[in-house]
């Protein structure tokens, strides 16, 4: 909090607006990407692409919200370490491990 | 000597205690939602047809409007905190009011969606809809509960802001803001997971 005072009044608001429009744009992009029916790509069903694109966009949105709205950008570096490590573990454990596990029996032909 | 000692900041980390506590609480909240997401991913990928059929009945457009309500209220919350820290009471009250309005809009649309699902018999007690709609109602229901839980202190802070001395604790507003942005973050994952990533039959056919 103390650090945010050092920032110029208008600049912070500009940054908030930038994040807001980014979030709006990415939300629309998620919906559009979900409505597109990808052909069978690289011998795998299009659903993998859908999910991958959806997760990548969601992660970008989450980073934008945490970095600017939740003040990590202006905050004590200790909080950043305190937040980044569990968040990284959350993303890896939830998405990567679960998907690796289930895709293996959903698509047995994939490596 | 001790008269000047302030414990508002933890002496070593220089992080306000309330803020640190909120981040810790959000960590536990993350674990709470991770359980749902983990179960959702595993069961979704094992039951493509059921989840594809279930999520095809959801109204993407209502959820999209709701997403904009939440993103908008996240922005107004950030602007409210910014103005509170700079002592602009009028704008602080305006943006906190707008945040409340966004939250209210979210809940109104959510209730329209719920009553529509109930009306059409899309409910976990229906034999064909048990699996998907259990996830739908539990995940969005707990999320909506979080929205309501955030609105309760927000109403108090807003009403107190109209008193003579205004709402005097910008740090508490910031801590509430952290929670509010977290509610937004969870929706960022719930929205595509339930409404958009519809497993379609191309995948089932290739199986």
What is the spatial distance between Cα B142 and Cα B164, in angstroms, rounded to a whole number? 36
What is the spatial distance between Cα A51 and Cα A34, in angstroms, rounded to a whole number? 9
What is the spatial distance between Cα A107 and Cα A85, in angstroms, rounded to a whole number? 31
What is the spatial distance between Cα B126 and Cα B128, in angstroms, rounded to a whole number? 6
Residue B16 φ/ψ, nearest 5 degrees? -55, 140
Quick one: pLDDT at residue B4?
60
- Domains of chain B listed by start with CATH number: 59-195 (1.20.120.80)
What is the spatial distance between Cα B189 and Cα B192, in angstroms, rounded to a whole number? 6
CB A76 within 8 A of CB B13: yes
DSSP result, A8-74: -HHHHHHHHHHHHHHHHHHHHHHHHHHHS----BTTB-THHHHHHHHHHHHHHHHHHIIIIIT-TTT
Residue of A98, A99, A108 to mutate, interface with B, max B Cβ within 10 Å: A98
Taking 80 as the threshold, does the pLDDT of residue B94 lie above it? yes
pLDDT in tens, A31-68: 998 888 776 655 455 577 788 888 899 999 999 999 99
ipTM over 0.90: no
Count of A–B CB contacts within 8 Å?
138
Quick one: pLDDT at residue B203?
44
Total-model pTM:
0.87
Does residue B92 or residue B12 have the better pLDDT?
Answer: B92
pLDDT in tens, A73-108: 888 888 888 888 878 887 787 777 777 766 666 666
Identify the band that residue B114 occupies on the pLDDT scale cut at 50, 70 and 90: very high
Per DSSP, helices labelled H in B86-129 are 89-119
Mean pLDDT of B141-153: 97
Distance from CA of A6 to the nearest CA of B (A): 11
Which of A77-91, B99-113, B136-150 comes out lowest in average pLDDT?
A77-91
Which distant-in-sequence residues (6+ apart) come within 8 Å of B33 by Cβ? B139, B142, B186, B189
Strand partners, B9: B16
Taking 80 as the threshold, does the pLDDT of residue B196 lie above it? yes
Q: Is there a contact between B71 and A51 if contact means CB atoms under 8 Å apart?
A: no
Average per-residue pLDDT in chain B? 88
Quick one: pLDDT at residue B12?
67
Would you mind telling me the total number of residues written for chain B in this entry? 207
What is the spatial distance between Cα A58 and Cα A42, in angstroms, rounded to a whole number? 24
The pLDDT > 90 percentage for chain B reads: 60
Residue of B23, B45, B52, B98 to mutate, interface with A, max A Cβ within 10 Å: B45
Which of A4-18, B56-70, B122-136, B149-163 comes out lowest in average pLDDT?
A4-18
């Amino acid at each position: 909090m103390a650090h945010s005072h050092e920032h110029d009044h208008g600049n912070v608001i500009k940054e908030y607006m930038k994040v807001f429009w980014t979030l709006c744009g990415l939300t629309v992009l998620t919906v559009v990407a979900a409505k597109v029916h990808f052909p069978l790509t690289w011998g795998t069903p299009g659903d993998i692409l859908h999910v991958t694109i959806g997760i990548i966009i969601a992660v970008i949105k989450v980073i934008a919200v945490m970095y600017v709205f939740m003040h990590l950008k202006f905050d004590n570096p200790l909080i950043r370490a305190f937040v980044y490590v569990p968040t990284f573990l959350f993303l890896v454990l939830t998405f990567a491990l679960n998907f690796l596990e289930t895709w293996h029996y959903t698509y047995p032909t994939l490596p | 000597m001790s008269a000047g000692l302030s414990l508002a900041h933890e002496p070593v980390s220089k992080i306000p205690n309330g803020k640190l506590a909120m981040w810790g609480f959000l960590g536990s909240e993350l674990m709470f939602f991770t359980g749902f997401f983990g179960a959702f991913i595993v069961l979704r990928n094992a039951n493509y047809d059921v989840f594809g059929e279930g999520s095809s009945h959801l109204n993407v457009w209502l959820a999209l409007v709701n997403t904009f309500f939440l993103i908008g209220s996240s922005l107004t919350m950030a602007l409210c905190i910014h103005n509170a820290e700079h002592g602009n009471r009028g704008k602080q009250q305006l943006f906190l009011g707008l945040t409340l309005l966004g939250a209210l809009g979210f809940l109104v649309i959510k209730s329209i969606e719920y009553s529509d699902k109930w009306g059409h018999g899309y409910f976990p007690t229906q034999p064909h809809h048990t699996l998907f709609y259990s996830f739908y109602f539990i995940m969005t229901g707990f999320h909506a509960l979080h929205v309501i839980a955030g609105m309760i202190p927000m109403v108090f802070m807003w009403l107190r802001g109209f008193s003579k001395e205004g709402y005097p604790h910008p740090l508490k507003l910031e801590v509430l803001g952290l929670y509010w942005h977290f509610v937004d973050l969870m929706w960022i994952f719930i929205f595509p997971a339930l409404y958009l990533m519809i497993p379609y039959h191309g995948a089932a056919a290739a199986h």
